[in-house]
């Protein structure tokens, strides 16, 4: 979903197993090439950027130059009507991955709109489990806008976890079915002047469901995670308030950053003589890429 004011950004050729071999040798060659593309994008561990598909949807990956054996990975989800390439540029997570030594993965939903269903959550869980170059106990899920809503949808899904922690910007969610999910470590950022997904009132989905405001959602996640301490409040700079809950089940802490006067944008930590930003980006006292990695980096899937 794109904000009119900020133009903010609201991850695969189909992989089907044929019951018999294609009659045409050319078709057989094409099928083989397609299958190779599907699997190789998640198995190509050479430094650099790689493109291919997974289960019929486009995927872009970036392997850092200094990646060690089995590094962690962050899967990043785009907003509505955008793509993996767009959110890679918007969030600059490749650069953070190069500095910190983690793989970045950007799947694209071909329709442009992630559907908030268990089927979509299953696709993203399968993606995490098939990252052959990564330590699959240290795969994390992040997203912006509709991609953030999809992050919460995956956190809500029942069954074993594929992601060790979750991070979102500008679209939180909690609904009754989340109560069946395991505790979820979550770091989340939202501008309180967001005019696309309201900080206080949430967002009405095309299904008619009205999501809850950010503060209510994050309190519900803290309750779901059975956090025994919090929220502790910390002011950061002039424009950020951090509410944090700790001592939670399965170390599933919750960190919630409010960007004061922030809009529907991905925030970066302000630096002296900062350059002009592109639509969908903003400066603040914290950067989403940095606080997410700080939160993610100490977490692994529960044993």
- Please tell me the distance from the alpha carbon of residue 265 to that of residue 268, in angstroms, as a whole number: 9
State the DSSP H helix or E strand holding residue 80, giving kind and residue range, or none if neither: none
The answer to whether the Cα torsion of 9, 279, 198, 242 is positive or negative is positive
pLDDT at 66: 83
Does an H or E element contain 186, and which?
strand 186-191
Give me the DSSP letters along 97-165: HHHHT-EEEEE--TTSS---SHHHHHHHHHHHHT-TTS-TTSEEEEEETHHHHHHHHHHH--SS-S-SE
**Top-tier CATH class for 25-296:** alpha beta
Give backbone dihedrals phi and psi of 238, rounded to 5 degrees, phi first: -95, -10
Query: Looking at residue 2, what is its pLDDT?
Result: 40
Per-residue pLDDT tens digits of the chain, which is 303 residues long: 443 333 333 333 333 333 333 333 333 333 434 444 445 799 999 999 999 999 999 999 999 998 878 999 999 999 999 999 999 999 999 999 999 999 999 999 999 999 999 999 999 999 999 999 999 999 999 999 999 999 999 999 999 999 999 999 999 999 999 999 999 999 999 999 999 999 999 999 999 999 999 999 999 999 999 999 999 999 999 999 999 999 999 999 999 999 999 999 999 887 656 555 666 777 788 999 999 999 999 999 986
Structure tokens at 52: 């291919």
> Quick one: which of 285, 224, 287, 290 has its CA closest to 253?
224
pLDDT at 22: 37
What is the predicted pLDDT for the residue at 135? 96
Q: Would you state the pLDDT for residue 172? A: 98
Q: What pLDDT was estimated at residue 11?
A: 32
What is the residue extent of each domain of the chain? 25-296
pLDDT of residue 40: 77
Helix (H, G, I), strand (E, B) or coil at 260: coil
Res 274: pLDDT:
56
Strand partners, 59: 52, 107
Is the distance from CB of 256 to CB of 236 less than 8 angstroms? Answer: no
The reported pLDDT for the residue numbered 278 is: 66
226-265 in b/e form (b: 16+ CB < 10 A) is ebeebbeeeeeeebbbbbbbbebeebbbbbbbbbeebbbb
Fill in the DSSP letter of residue 210: B
């Amino acid at each position: 979903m794109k904000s009119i004011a900020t133009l903010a950004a609201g991850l695969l050729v189909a992989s089907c197993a044929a019951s018999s071999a294609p009659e045409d040798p050319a078709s057989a060659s094409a099928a083989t090439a397609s299958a190779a593309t599907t699997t190789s994008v998640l198995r190509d561990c050479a430094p650099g950027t790689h493109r291919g598909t997974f289960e019929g949807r486009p995927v872009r990956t970036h392997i850092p130059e200094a990646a060690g054996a089995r590094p962690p990975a962050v899967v990043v989800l785009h907003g509505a009507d955008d793509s993996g390439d767009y959110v890679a540029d918007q969030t600059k997570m490749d650069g953070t991955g190069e500095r910190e030594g983690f793989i970045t993965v950007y799947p694209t939903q071909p329709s442009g709109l992630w559907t908030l269903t268990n089927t979509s959550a299953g696709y993203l869980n399968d993606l995490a489990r098939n990252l052959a170059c990564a330590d699959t106990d240290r795969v994390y899920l992040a997203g912006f806008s509709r991609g953030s809503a999809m992050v919460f949808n995956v956190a809500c899904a029942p069954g074993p976890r594929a992601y060790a922690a979750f991070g979102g910007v500008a679209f939180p969610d909690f609904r009754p079915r989340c109560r069946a999910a395991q505790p979820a470590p979550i770091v989340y950022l939202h501008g309180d002047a967001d005019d696309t997904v309201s900080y206080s009132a949430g967002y009405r989905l095309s299904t008619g469901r009205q999501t809850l405001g950010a503060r209510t959602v994050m309190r519900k996640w803290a309750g779901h995670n059975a956090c025994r301490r919090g929220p502790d409040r910390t002011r950061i700079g002039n424009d950020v308030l951090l509410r944090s809950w700790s001592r939670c089940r399965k170390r599933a802490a919750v960190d919630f950053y409010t960007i004061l006067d922030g809009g529907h944008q991905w925030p970066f930590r302000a630096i002296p003589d900062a350059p002009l930003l592109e639509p969908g980006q903003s400066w603040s006292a914290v950067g989403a890429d940095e606080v997410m990695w700080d939160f993610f980096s100490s977490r692994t899937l529960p044993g």
